[in-house]
């Protein structure tokens, strides 16, 4: 078998693919963050908790109401998104005029409260959530066994990311959104309800987090802590990609997933630090991030 | 100060003195026995020890009848966040400022090793239930530390030898990259080699990792018959869950969870966990006494049944209080010596003793997780495959390299 740096190439392909799968989650989550930061200027630290809420929502739907995975993919983001709208209306709105730091503190505190409440109620070892029947099993690709569910995660995440990018960068609605961030007063003068648009944008970003949560439920544990562990990495992804850059967050999400996957082969002990090392290097060389515009 | 308040203050003092005969003869420092439950309260091990350990300690104090005996016992608790620096800082503050006499539980071996060192310096007592590293009674043993519930040698010996003997003779380890994982991997490797097996490879993952597919893939390409999971809590749950997804077992490899708790099985669900074999020292459905304990414990712990770690906290605190009473002192070094001198006896672990190196001895059980159809009620999860007698369950005293053993 041919080898690359002492690792059989077949194994390496497998690791690349797994990196892409993990990258899908990074991309989905950082996308939501980028949308919220880019259009609202809020650093949404509740994102991890909202991702967790998505997974729990799927769990409740299944265990209490018997609603399966596919409907959860729709219902959970809507429900959690509605919660996001409520948060934006009642708590975030008064903070727009203030420094970024206030939004950050509020969302961070909110995340702690939500996670604490869930931990109190459900403990830390997590709850079981099965893979949907249609997606169990897998295919042997020759170099690795690819579970169907993981293949689905890559596809679903890519589609969501590209669709979001398209809506924001290429449609009329997207152009309103971008204009509203540049100059809200002027856009309002054209008869567009800017506050409502902003609220819905936040709800959408939150729904993206919940969607990622539902997709994560069958493969990671559904536990109150699941978002807190991930969110730090995702923030690093956003910083590397450039705060607020939609394309940046998608590309770096997938890219860093792959880099992390390779680290797990060559030097597994560093696999949870490698992203931060990259972040430090990127910040030194390009402080606005790889895709960020200097403001 | 008014006359009335002077009077009531005096009465209060008098009452306090009458209520605590141990204080009267000046043996228990500051009149209160303060038990500090130091655990992971919020992260991946919180269901193994955590708030449930506080419940267990409180039940032990009640069952001992401390109030009736006139002993004043207080329980405090804190979250060490699985960080050795945080854990030893809390231990120092508890000992120096808050007058804590004994620390119990402390999952996460790296934290437990740090707290054991602090306890020795301060001459207090440390009853380990949650941590696993056999070094606590080996090269890092201390006259102030008792290692209660289980350890890595016991797990390796119980689970490892049973698996190698039933044909699983080639191993690949997925190991948590800190003191506990290393100790568990080392102890299991010894058992595998001793029984004629081979270790084909190992990979170390950071504590609290999310995704194990990469490590599982490496294990898969090693072609080892057994994938040994030298990790715990959420890490084990994720490994097992993802191994099922990647069809590891269907394709002829088997998993050996070296350390699995009942809370992990609960989190996995029987569909995923069925057939797993591992070693425990406590199961709630062993006998009438353990069942009665679980029935009282669960309602106080969000209906979660006790793990062996929480049962160990109960049993350790009970024995500690007996030793304080018998020795008429709460001086850490003296109480631990007394604890080793007295035979242990409690409803959960039965009769046993504590060795010179600080190892508590009791039987261990090789258990198998039931199939979903075999489970009759909540937490009805295990079949007991065999019992390992106390004198064989733990590492022989001479082999640990503890300086206290002569």
- The pLDDT tens digits for B61-79 are 999 999 898 889 999 999 9
Average pLDDT over chain B reads 90
What is the predicted pLDDT for the residue at A6? 64
| Residue scoring higher pLDDT (A18 or B40) | B40
For residue B192, which phi and psi values (nearest 5 degrees)? -60, -50
Contacts 24+ apart (CB under 8 A), B16-25: B19/B70, B19/B72, B20/B70, B20/B71, B20/B72, B21/B70, B22/B70, B22/B71, B22/B328, B23/B72, B25/B328
Q: How far is CA A86 from CA A49, A102, A195, A212, B106, in A?
A: 15, 18, 13, 20, 40
| pLDDT band, very low/low/confident/very high, at B227 (cuts 50, 70, 90) | very high
Q: Does B303 touch chain A (CB under 8 A)?
A: no
Q: Please report the pLDDT score of residue B278 as a whole number.
A: 93
Element (H, E) at B193: helix B179-194
Residue with the larger pLDDT of the pair B44 and B17: B44
Contacts of A155 (CB under 8 A, 6+ apart): none
Taking CB atoms and an 8 Å limit, are A8 and B237 in contact across chains? no
Within a domain: A89: yes
Percent of chain B with pLDDT over 70: 93
**List of chain B residues whose C-beta atoms are within 8 Å of the C-beta of residue A119:** 42, 46
Which helix (H) or strand (E) element contains residue B34? strand B33-39
Q: Which two tokens stand for residue A225?
A: 């802590």
pLDDT bracket for residue B16 (50, 70, 90): very low
- What is the rounded average pLDDT for all residues in chain A? 88
Q: What is the spatial order of strands in the sheet that B198-205 belongs to?
A: B198-205, B170-176, B226-230, B254-257
Two tokens at A45? 């630290």
Interchain proximity B218–A150, CB inside 8 Å: no
pLDDT of residue A95: 86
CB of A11 within 8 Å of a chain B CB? The answer is yes
Identify the closest residue of chain B to A147 by CA–CA distance: B246
Q: What are phi and psi of B350, to 5 degrees?
A: 75, -155
CA distance B57 to B319: 11
Structure token digits, residue A116: 């604490």
Q: What is the pTM of this model?
A: 0.82
Contacts of B206 in chain A (CB under 8 A): 269, 271-272
Burial class (CB in 10 A: 0-12, 13-18, 19+), A17: buried
Write the CB contacts of A37 (distance below 8 Å, at least 6 apart in sequence). A43, A44, A238, A243, A244
A143 located within any domain: yes
Nearest chain A alpha carbon to B40 = A124
Residue of B nearest to A149 (CA): B245
DSSP H helical segments within A41-183, as ranges?
Answer: 47-65, 69-87, 100-122, 148-170, 172-182
Q: CB distance A268–B47 less than 8 Å?
A: no
- Which of A123, A140, A234 to probe the B interface (max B CBs under 10 A)? A123
Q: What is the mean pLDDT of residues B317-325?
A: 96
How much is the pLDDT for B22?
Answer: 40
> Can you give the residue ranges of every domain in chain B?
22-150+287-362, 153-280+364-393
Tokens for B112, please give them: 């437990």
Structural domain span for residue A211: 3-230
Which residues have a Cβ under 8 Å from the Cβ of B398 and sit 6 or more positions away?
B405
Stretch among A69-73, A140-144, A177-181, A270-274 having the lowest mean pLDDT: A140-144
Contact A119 B46 (CB under 8 A): yes
Residue A226 falls inside a structural domain: yes
Tokens of B148: 């209660």
Tell me how close the Cα of B131 comes to any Cα of chain A, in angstroms. 17
Asked if residue A264 lies in contact with residue A271, where contact means CB atoms within 8 angstroms, the answer is yes
Whether residue B177 lies within 8 A of chain A, CB to CB, comes out as yes
Shortest CA distance to B304 belongs to which of B125, B49, B60, B123? B49
pLDDT in tens, A219-265: 887 888 888 878 888 999 999 998 878 888 899 999 999 999 888 88
- Give contacts of B269 with chain A, Cβ < 8 Å: 128, 130
Least confident among A149-153, B8-12, B14-18, B48-52: B14-18
Chain-chain contact of B217 with A18 (C-beta, under 8 angstroms): yes
Q: Report the residue of chain A nearest B262, measured CA to CA.
A: A125
Domains identified in chain A, total number: 1
CATH number of B22-150+287-362: 3.40.50.2300
**Spatial CB neighbours of B320, under 8 Å, sequence gap ≥ 6:** B35, B102, B104, B125, B127, B335, B339
pLDDT at B28 over 60: yes
Output phi, psi for B353, to 5 deg.
-155, 170
Neighbours of A40 (CB within 10 A): 22
pLDDT band at A3, cuts 50/70/90? low
Would you call B218 an interface residue with chain A, using a CB distance cutoff of 8 Å?
A: yes
In a domain, A249, yes or no: no
The C-alpha atoms of residue A48 and residue A224 are separated, in whole angstroms, by: 10
Residues of A in contact with B50 (CB under 8 A): 123-124
Which residues of chain B are within 8 Å of residue A218 when distances are taken between CB atoms? 245
How many residues are recorded in chain A?
295
> Could you tell me which of B394, B388, B397 has the C-alpha nearest to residue B355?
B397
Q: What's the pLDDT at B332?
A: 94
Task: Write phi, then psi, for A179 (nearest 5 degrees).
Answer: -65, -40
User: Is B245 in Cβ contact with A128 (below 8 Å)?
Assistant: no
DSSP secondary-structure letter at A18? H
Q: What values do phi and psi take at A121, rounded to 5?
A: -85, -40
ipTM over 0.90: no
Whether the pLDDT of residue B1 is over 80: the answer is no
Topology adopted by domain B153-280+364-393: Rossmann fold (3.40.50)
**CA of B250 vs chain A CAs: smallest distance (Å):** 10
Look at residue B11 and tell me whether its pLDDT is greater than 50: no
From the list A220, A271, A239, the residue with the least C-alpha distance to B204 is A271
Helix (H) or strand (E) holding B384: strand B382-388
Residue in B206, B245, B302 closest to A123 by CB: B302
Specify the 3-state DSSP secondary structure of A154. helix
| CA-based nearest distance B43→chain A, Å | 6
Among the partner-chain residues A21, A124, A147, the one whose CB lies closest to the CB of B44 is A124
Contact residues on chain B for A147, CB-CB shorter than 8 A: 245-247
Is residue A189 predicted with pLDDT exceeding 50?
yes
Q: Is the pLDDT of residue A294 over 60?
A: no
Confidence band (pLDDT; 50, 70, 90) for B17? very low
Judged by CB atoms closer than 8 Å, whether chains meet at A219 and B50 is answered as no
Which residue did the predictor score with more confidence, A39 or B33?
B33
Question: Averaged over A138-148, what is the pLDDT?
Answer: 82
B123 CB contacts (<8 Å, ≥6 apart)?
A: B144, B331, B332, B333
Whether residue A1 has pLDDT greater than 90: no
Give pLDDT, residue A2.
Answer: 59
User: Which structure tokens are listed for B172?
Assistant: 């690949």
Q: Are A248 and A291 in contact (CB under 8 A)?
A: yes
Which of B44, B174, B185, B213 should be substituted to probe chain A, the one whose Cβ sees the most A Cβ atoms within 10 Å? Answer: B213
The Cα–Cα gap between A189 and A183 comes to 10
Q: Do B217 and A21 touch (CB under 8 A)?
A: no
Q: Flag whether residue A256 sits within 8 Å of chain B, measured between CB atoms.
A: no
Contact B267 A130 (CB under 8 A): no
| Interval B114-163: pLDDT, tens | 999 999 999 999 999 999 999 999 999 999 999 999 999 999 999 999 89
- In this predicted structure, what is the pLDDT of residue B210? 80
Q: Of A15, A22, A130, which is closest to B217 when you measure between CB atoms?
A: A15
Task: Output the pLDDT for position B52.
Answer: 96
Q: How near does any CA of chain B get to the CA of A1, in Å? A: 13
Distances (CA, A) of B29 to A82, A277, B95, B212: 57, 50, 12, 50
Inter-chain contact B211–A149, Cβ cutoff 8 Å?
no
CB contact under 8 A, A221 and B209: no
pLDDT above 70 for B59 = yes
Any B CB within 8 A of A22 CB: yes
Nearest in space to B185 (alpha carbons), one of B227, B248, B222:
B227
Instruction: Give CA–CA dist A228/B309, Å, rounded.
Output: 26
Look at B234 and A8 and tell me if their CB atoms are within 8 Å: no
Calculate how close chain A gets to B177, using CA atoms only, in Å.
Answer: 7
A113 CB-side CA count, 13 A? 7
Residues from chain A that touch B208, judged by Cβ atoms under 8 A, are 229
Same topology between domain B22-150+287-362 and domain B153-280+364-393: yes
pLDDT per position as a tens digit, B155-173: 999 999 989 988 899 999 9
The answer on pLDDT for B404 being more than 70 is yes
Which residues, 6 or more positions from B57, have their beta carbon under 8 angstroms from its beta carbon? B35, B37, B75, B104, B105, B313, B314, B317
Residue A8 lies in a domain: yes
Please report whether residue A240 resides in a domain. Answer: no
The average pLDDT across B331-356 equals 95
* Residue B238 φ then ψ, to 5°: -65, -40
**Using CB atoms within 10 A of its CB, is residue B27 exposed (0-12), middle (13-18) or buried (19+)?**
middle
* Torsion, CA A29, CA A34, CA A37, CA A42, rounded to 10: 10
Partner-chain contact B302 A219, CB within 8 Å: no
pLDDT above 70 for B6: no
| A·B CB contacts under 8 A | 119
Cα(B94)–Cα(B102) distance, rounded to whole angstroms? Answer: 9
**A chain contacts of residue B212, beta-carbon cutoff 8 Å:** none
CB B154, CB B393: distance < 8 Å? yes
């Amino acid at each position: 078998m041919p080898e690359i740096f002492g690792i059989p190439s077949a194994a390496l392909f497998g690791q690349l693919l797994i990196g892409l799968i993990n990258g899908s989650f990074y991309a989905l989550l950082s996308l939501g963050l980028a949308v919220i930061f880019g259009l609202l200027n809020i650093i949404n630290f509740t994102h991890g908790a909202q991702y967790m809420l998505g997974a729990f929502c799927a769990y409740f739907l299944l265990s209490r109401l018997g609603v399966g995975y596919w409907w959860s993919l729709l219902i959970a983001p809507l429900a959690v998104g509605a919660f996001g709208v409520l948060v934006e209306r009642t708590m975030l709105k008064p903070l727009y005029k203030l420094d970024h730091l206030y939004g950050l503190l509020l969302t961070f505190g909110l995340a702690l409260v939500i996670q604490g409440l869930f931990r109190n109620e459900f403990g830390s070892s997590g709850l079981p959530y099965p893979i949907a029947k249609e997606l169990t099993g897998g295919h042997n690709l020759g170099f690795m066994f690819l579970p169907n569910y993981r293949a689905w995660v890559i596809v679903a995440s890519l589609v969501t990311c590209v669709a979001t990018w398209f809506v924001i960068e290429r449609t009329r609605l997207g152009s309103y959104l971008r204009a509203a961030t540049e100059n809200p007063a002027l856009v309002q003068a054209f008869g567009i309800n800017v506050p409502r648009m902003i609220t819905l944008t936040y709800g959408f970003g939150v729904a993206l987090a919940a969607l990622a949560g539902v997709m994560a439920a069958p493969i990671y544990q559904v536990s109150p802590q699941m978002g807190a562990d991930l969110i730090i990495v995702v923030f690093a992804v956003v910083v590397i990609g450039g705060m607020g850059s939609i394309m940046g967050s998608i590309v770096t999400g997938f890219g860093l997933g792959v880099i992390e996957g390779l680290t797990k082969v060559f030097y597994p002990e560093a696999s949870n630090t490698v992203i931060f090392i990259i972040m430090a290097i990127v910040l030194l060389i390009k402080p606005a991030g790889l895709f960020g515009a200097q403001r | 100060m008014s006359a009335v308040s002077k009077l009531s203050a005096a009465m209060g003092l008098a009452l306090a003195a009458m209520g605590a005969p141990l204080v009267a003869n000046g043996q228990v420092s500051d009149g209160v026995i303060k038990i500090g439950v130091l655990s992971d309260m919020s992260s991946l091990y919180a269901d193994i020890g955590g708030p449930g350990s506080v419940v267990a300690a409180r039940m032990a104090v009640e069952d001992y009848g401390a109030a009736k005996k006139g002993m004043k016992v207080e329980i405090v608790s804190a979250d060490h966040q699985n960080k050795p620096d945080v854990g030893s800082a809390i231990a120092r503050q508890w000992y120096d400022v808050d007058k804590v006499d004994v620390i119990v539980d402390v999952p996460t071996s790296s934290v437990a090793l740090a707290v054991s060192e602090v306890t020795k310096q301060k001459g207090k007592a440390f009853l380990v239930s949650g941590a696993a590293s056999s070094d606590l009674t080996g090269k890092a043993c201390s006259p102030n530390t008792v290692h209660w519930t289980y350890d890595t040698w016991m797990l390796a010996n119980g689970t490892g030898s049973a698996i190698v003997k039933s044909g699983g003779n080639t191993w690949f380890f997925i190991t948590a990259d800190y003191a506990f994982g290393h100790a568990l991997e080392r102890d299991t490797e010894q058992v595998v080699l001793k029984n004629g097996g081979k270790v084909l490879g190992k990979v170390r993952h950071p504590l609290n990792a999310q995704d194990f597919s990469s490590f599982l893939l490496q294990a898969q390409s090693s072609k080892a018959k057994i994938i040994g999971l030298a990790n715990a809590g959420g890490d084990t749950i994720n490994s097992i869950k993802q191994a099922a997804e990647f069809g590891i077992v269907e394709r002829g490899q088997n998993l050996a969870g070296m350390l699995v708790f009942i809370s992990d099985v609960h989190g996995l669900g029987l569909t995923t966990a069925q057939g797993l074999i591992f070693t425990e020292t406590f199961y709630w459905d062993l006998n009438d006494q353990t069942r009665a304990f679980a029935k009282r414990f669960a309602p106080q712990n969000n209906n979660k049944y006790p793990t062996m770690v929480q049962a160990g906290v109960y049993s350790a605190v009970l024995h500690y209080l007996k030793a304080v009473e018998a020795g008429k002192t709460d001086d850490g070094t003296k109480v631990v010596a007394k604890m080793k001198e007295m035979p242990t006896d409690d409803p959960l672990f039965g009769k046993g003793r504590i060795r010179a190196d600080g190892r508590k001895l009791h039987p261990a059980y090789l258990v198998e997780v039931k199939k979903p159809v075999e489970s009759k009620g909540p937490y009805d999860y295990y079949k007991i495959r065999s019992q390992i007698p106390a004198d064989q369950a733990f590492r022989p005293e001479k082999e640990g390299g503890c300086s206290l053993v002569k």
